[in-house]
Structure 1
């Protein structure tokens, strides 16, 4: 019998029992769709978490921490293989009281090595990186926080109202501050020790040459100034000169806290660089390590979801088994005739397996279409429903994906669904090959 004739033979018998076949296909569809949708939750949440971690993060960046009492040998790290650059930043126990025209602002004192920042490709929203110690880069929201006396009073009023109406307060706050570009402008700075209420009298002037890039998240506020790392000694001398009682002078190591960031040449080199840094007794943090931990957790989570979904497919397989068993019972005489005219047991088995496979393929195809529809609706509706319930817009603005269906999930689900369908039809198909010809022909 030609393959085309086999297909026609299967199609004719399926048409005879449309209702039974329809309910069996429906059960297969529901089981497979449940498997795909359930597993897609794991893929969706994992993708959302990875995007959250990677936002505003550099994949090749490694943060290094050492013993506070010991200085980290930065030069030795720079000479390590696969290290593109090392940026040493410093957080000072000082604040900078800024004055520009009739406006003021207060920000923490942060210093960095601008030449190395350029090597790692630090981005700005405006201007350039400093080339001299009297040039600075201000944060993206620095200008918004340069307030006049009248605006300071209005800001205090808005802060009081913010507890009652966050949305209105935020919209009004955006109207405050300096609206023009600060690039090319000169500002004056007075340093202040965190433990002292009064600012140090010495006034310094700096030229703004750049503005940092916009934060990846709307709720992040960059109200900062980045000074040159070369000013570390000068700032400490200014601080020491302002302290009247020499017994109260903080040591330089207590005044400045280093923050070292190592940048590997590429993503593949990150793990090797991390291993070498750990061999030196340093503590490190890299977003790649966090991603590895998340991947392991979500792998177990997705495997569990697929296992639960597979149970639904197995339940649906009972329907296929019953359908094929009834088909064999109803067509006993027909099987006997086929055997009498020379049909081999393998051919008869193949015909029944083709029927069960057709049910599995059709059910899986419909399930895939339905699953994509459910995934789209859940990603669209769930954030709206949750935000309506919590009276906010956090989930819609966050862009959380609750369901994601990659092609690998479709492949796994299809193999499971069609494979279970074939296994369900195998036993009835084997039963068909063992039917006695004489008894089958005697059956009416």
Structure 2
């Protein structure tokens, strides 16, 4: 019997029991769809979490921690293989104030090497990077931190006079500097934290650039970024005014190493650890997340597989009844010379057909449910939490990658074949004489 004839044979018998076969396919569909949707939640949460971690951060960045980070150590790290840039940022650890016209700000000063910053991808919204020690870049929110005390006090008095409710006060923005920043000269001073008094040695700095806005609205960047060539002048002022015998350092350092490519981050991290540094990189965090979600997705697939196994009971019953109903027909086929392998193949084809149709419908249904869930659930959760903009958080509840479809399909069709194997085997063991004696 040719394969085409075998398919026609299976099709004819399926048509005779449409309702029973339909219910069996429905059970297989529900089991497979449950597996795919359940596992897709794991993929969706993993994708959302990874995007949240990677947002506004470089995957090639390695953070280095040590108590004595300095330019000499940074220069040694530049010699490591596959290092693109080493950025040593040193922040002034003192009371600070910047003044522009009648506006003042307590924004902190950070000194760095802009040649390395440029290699690492330091981005500007306007202007250019500093070229001399008297030029600076200001954070995107620096202007909002520049305030006039008289204007702020007047504004607050107006708020009290109008008896604004709490919500209006929260939304109201304090008056701040709204003029042009580029090309403006500011006066920078710093002093003792303990006495809160400045050293009265102001430094004139010219704004030549404005840093790019942080990707998150809740992050505010109001810092001053100056070139590392300013450090000797800052330390000279500090040495003239610090308490006698004090060993406190003016500058707090943090250092980031940037790899040329993502695959080289692990090698650089290992080299730095071997040199005795404590390090952190997103690649390590992502590896931990991937391991966790691999276990989670495996667990979800296992739970979904149980649903498929339950549906396999229906396939087993359907195929067992099919064998019982066709006992005489099987006897005739054997009498005509049909081999046991052919008979077994016919019944396995039927159970496989049920599994394939159920799987195809389940995949289509799963994608439809996934799309609807990602569209509707943010609206429902946002309404429940009272946050109309919940969907703006870009949360993905369900993702169905092709690998999940392949795994689910293999499990579903494989379980269907296994469920049909025992009835198919039973069909090959039917005695010809006994089968022919049965009445039609």
Q: Taking structure 2 as the reference length, what is the TM-score of the superposition?
A: 0.93
1:117 counterpart residue number: 117
Call closer, same or farther: CA 1:170–1:21 in 2, change over 3 Å: farther
2:43 counterpart residue number: 43
- How far residue 338 of structure 1 moved from its aligned partner, in angstroms, is 1.6
Distance (whole Å) between structure 2 residues aligned to residue 291 and residue 413 of structure 1? 26
Q: 1:46-69: CA deviations, max 9, x gaps?
A: 111111111111111111112459
Distance (whole Å) between structure 2 residues aligned to residue 162 and residue 258 of structure 1? 44
2:291 counterpart residue number: 296
Distance (whole Å) between structure 1 residues aligned to residue 133 and residue 165 of structure 2? 42
1:101 counterpart residue number: 101
Distance (whole Å) between structure 2 residues aligned to residue 82 and residue 71 of structure 1? 19
Distance (whole Å) between structure 1 residues aligned to residue 48 and residue 387 of structure 2? 19
What SS class does the counterpart of residue 62 from structure 1 fall into?
A: strand
Distance (whole Å) between structure 2 residues aligned to residue 393 and residue 329 of structure 1? 60
1:65 counterpart residue number: 65
1:142 counterpart residue number: 142
Distance (whole Å) between structure 2 residues aligned to residue 180 and residue 209 of structure 1? 15
Check the 8 A contact 2:88/2:112 in 1, yes or no. Answer: yes
- How far residue 199 of structure 1 moved from its aligned partner, in angstroms, is 2.8
1:311 counterpart residue number: 306
| 1:76-91 matched pairs, under 5 angstroms | 76-91=76-91
1:407 aligns with 2:402: yes
| 1:374-385 matched pairs, under 5 angstroms | 374-385=369-380
1:30 aligns with 2:30: yes
Distance (whole Å) between structure 1 residues aligned to residue 38 and residue 195 of structure 2? 58
1:214 aligns with 2:213: yes
Check the 8 A contact 2:347/2:424 in 1, yes or no. Answer: yes
- How far residue 73 of structure 1 moved from its aligned partner, in angstroms, is 2.1
Counting matched residue pairs gives 437
CA RMSD of aligned residues (A): 2.4
Q: 1:260-312: CA deviations, max 9, x gaps?
A: 11111211211111111111111001010111111111111111111111111
1:75 counterpart residue number: 75
Call closer, same or farther: CA 1:72–1:305 in 2, change over 3 Å: farther
1:261 counterpart residue number: 256
Q: 1:292-350: CA deviations, max 9, x gaps?
A: 11111111111111111111110111110001111111111111112222222122111
| 1:170-249 matched pairs, under 5 angstroms | 171-173=171-173, 176-243=175-242, 245-247=243-245, 249=246
Which ranges in structure 2 are unaligned for 5 or more consecutive residues? Answer: none
Call closer, same or farther: CA 1:437–1:28 in 2, change over 3 Å: same
Which ranges in structure 1 are unaligned for 5 or more consecutive residues? Answer: none
Check the 8 A contact 1:142/1:222 in 2, yes or no. Answer: yes
Call closer, same or farther: CA 1:159–1:39 in 2, change over 3 Å: farther
1:426 aligned to 418, 421, 424, which one? 421
Q: Taking structure 1 as the reference length, what is the TM-score of the superposition?
A: 0.92
Check the 8 A contact 1:336/1:438 in 2, yes or no. Answer: yes
What SS class does the counterpart of residue 108 from structure 2 fall into?
A: strand
Distance (whole Å) between structure 2 residues aligned to residue 157 and residue 21 of structure 1? 79
Check the 8 A contact 2:147/2:175 in 1, yes or no. Answer: yes
- How far residue 148 of structure 1 moved from its aligned partner, in angstroms, is 3.1
